[in-house]
Structure 1
Amino acid sequence: MLNGILVIDKDSGMTSADVVYHLRKALHIRKIGHAGTLDPEVTGVLPIAIGQATKLIEMMHTRPKAYIGSGLFGYRTDSYDTEGKVLEEKKLTEAFSASEIQDKMHSFKGTITQVPPIYSAVKVNGKHLYEYAREGIEVERPKREVEVYKYDLTRKPEFDSEKGEESFSFQIECSKGTYVRSLVNDLGEKMNTPAVMTHLRRVASSGFDISQAVKLDEIIKNPEKAAELIQPIDAFFKDYETIDLNEGKWLKVKNGALISLKTDAKSVALRYNGRVKAIYQKTAKGYRPKLMLLQNE
């Protein structure tokens, strides 16, 4: 039985659910789930939790994400990317400087309030926003607070005087729930010109990055390679303080008992026989279970 995180480099044109479906068929394992949905046209890091690792999915969602992508000043769509209906066009008569764009990008750093695109999976009254959009129903989109850690240009913008458009490339690091399409659209608003996202690739998520990723086709063609490429559950907790348990403490942890530990850490990874078996968190009376991983072998 596989236990761990398989980092998939998702191709364009496939949903995150499609990836899970194909892996279930290839690996003959039902206990599989993804952390952090990617839109079909977006490529890159999609962490797939397998076996005991499915218990980590909620925690995986909380880790920062990183993207590289590109945008274009000159028009705006209802989906904030090139897949949507054009709502506004405005030819640029002169280029924005790199410093102008960068300054506006930096204004988004920190905690911001964001409105998700109408074509998104956010739910209102039990229904996805994209469902309302397809039916032509107007609905108030819920605002949410997200954290932007980095929003930078990665190369000099390119101005096309004939088309009256300017393209730019960026890198973004952000918290869960952040819509990069909205950041591009909102950048345009700050520049007083329409903007649209033209390409997006996620390069890190849930503590894993693109260097650890494998193409889905590689696993489908050679399912046995999954055992070689899967990241162990313990890799997710590499930033935690780790404590090796003696036999006595292990017996208590197996039963989910309150224990005392010689540490002041808020959360600790408890290891037995070389594997993380539980995450315990500090309370006023001692350390209690936060997450049990007893079958992590």
Structure 2
Amino acid sequence: MDGILPLWKPKGMTSHDCVIKVRKLFHSKKVGHTGTLDPEVEGVLPICIGQATKIVPFLTDTTKTYIAEVTLGKATDTEDAHGIIIEEKNVKTPLSKQNIENVLQLFRGEINQIPPMYSAVKVNGRKLYEYARANESVERPERTVTIHELEMLEMNDTIFTFKAVCSKGTYIRTLCVDIGKSLGYPAYMSDLIRISTGSIMDKDTVTFTTIENTPERGNLLLPISRGVDHLDVLEVDEQTKMKVKNGQKLGIPERVLQTEPFSVMYKNELLAIYRIHPEKKDCIKPVRVFN
């Protein structure tokens, strides 16, 4: 069984918990998720099964869309609702939507983030949350991420929600905290939902209840090509198809491809993912080949 399971991850499970459960439900050892969601976050978690595990890094690298809720006036050590309050400040004057919109403009485009201490980012071979739990301090590496879209949705007193379309590696918790600081208040992320990963949307997803109640579970899987539809496509003929299936290098295509790497397809069949050869610029080589 090969394909992408568009899972709606429930609250209370880690992404790894979901992988373990999917392995049992689909009787497959080759299962991998495409971007960690914290246990108390729900939403779109595409899970690759069988041959689809070959595209995990490509699907993980796509943009993600979130609906986040920010609470002003308090900060927590984990930057979300499940941490210990470390700072408080009364919000005496209610903020207007225009106040918030003015600040959101500062966070559109490329921004720098310092990942939260309670995260899986590794420093000197240890995850940051391991330092945090041991009450040890460590310098955290700054990273550049891209906020493609940032839209104010609703506001109620000291709580507001926004939609963010962002690049891989963006910490929405940290985005919430930084927006709060720019508004002049401590803040934390009080709720988060992921509504898309790449082109896989919330409307495409299935729950564990649906999976358990579906006898023909293979029918719930999306084709592998859906996970790489953000890559440009090189169409080949039947003769070239066999070369691709055998993992052979090919000559540079006549058409300039817009992404690197790119998909190679025969009719509607995804054959492989190729890239320009790093040493031989006159040919292309396979990165992944699908049997």
What's the TM-score bracket when you normalise by the shorter of the two chains?
Answer: over 0.9
4+ residue runs over 4 A deviation: none
Deviates more, 1:233-242 or 1:27-36: 233-242
Shift of 1:82: 1.0
Deviates more, 1:115-124 or 1:40-49: 115-124
Which residue is equivalent to 1:177?
Answer: 169
Which residue is equivalent to 2:36?
Answer: 37
Which residue is equivalent to 2:141?
Answer: 142
Say how many residue pairs are matched: 285
Which residue is equivalent to 1:290?
Answer: 287
- 1:87 maps to amino acid: I
- Structure 2: how far apart are the matches of 1:238 and 1:138? 42
- 2:9 maps to amino acid: K
Deviates more, 1:72-81 or 1:273-282: 273-282
Deviations 1:50-94 (A, max 9, x none): 111101011112100000021111111111111001011111111
1:235 equivalent to 2:226? Answer yes
- Structure 2: how far apart are the matches of 1:287 and 1:269? 12
- Structure 1: how far apart are the matches of 2:64 and 2:208? 20
SS in 1 for 2:247: coil
Deviates more, 1:73-82 or 1:260-269: 260-269
**Contact 2:4/2:221 (<8 A) preserved:** yes
What is the alpha-carbon root mean square deviation over aligned residues? Answer: 1.7
- Structure 2: how far apart are the matches of 1:94 and 1:241? 50
- 1:98 maps to amino acid: K
1:247 equivalent to 2:238? Answer yes
* Percent of aligned pairs sharing the same letter: 37
Shift of 1:244: 4.2
Which residue is equivalent to 2:195?
Answer: 203
Deviations 1:133-169 (A, max 9, x none): 11211222221111111122112x212xxxxxx1101
Query: Unpaired runs of 5+ in structure 2?
Result: none
- Structure 2: how far apart are the matches of 1:174 and 1:121? 19
Deviations 1:215-241 (A, max 9, x none): 12321343x343112110122233444
**Contact 2:241/2:271 (<8 A) preserved:** no
1:188 equivalent to 2:180? Answer yes
**Contact 2:44/2:201 (<8 A) preserved:** yes
- 2:269 maps to amino acid: R
Which residue is equivalent to 2:272?
Answer: 278
- Structure 2: how far apart are the matches of 1:29 and 1:258? 31
**Contact 1:62/1:176 (<8 A) preserved:** yes
- Structure 2: how far apart are the matches of 1:3 and 1:291? 15
Which residue is equivalent to 1:259?
Answer: 250
Deviations 1:147-196 (A, max 9, x none): 111122112x212xxxxxx1101101111110000001011111111111
Which residue is equivalent to 2:96?
Answer: 97
**Contact 2:122/2:128 (<8 A) preserved:** yes
Which residue is equivalent to 1:66?
Answer: 65
1:158 equivalent to 2:156? Answer yes
In the TM superposition, 1:40-59 aligns within 5 A as 40-59=39-58
Q: Normalized against structure 1, the TM-score is what? A: 0.91
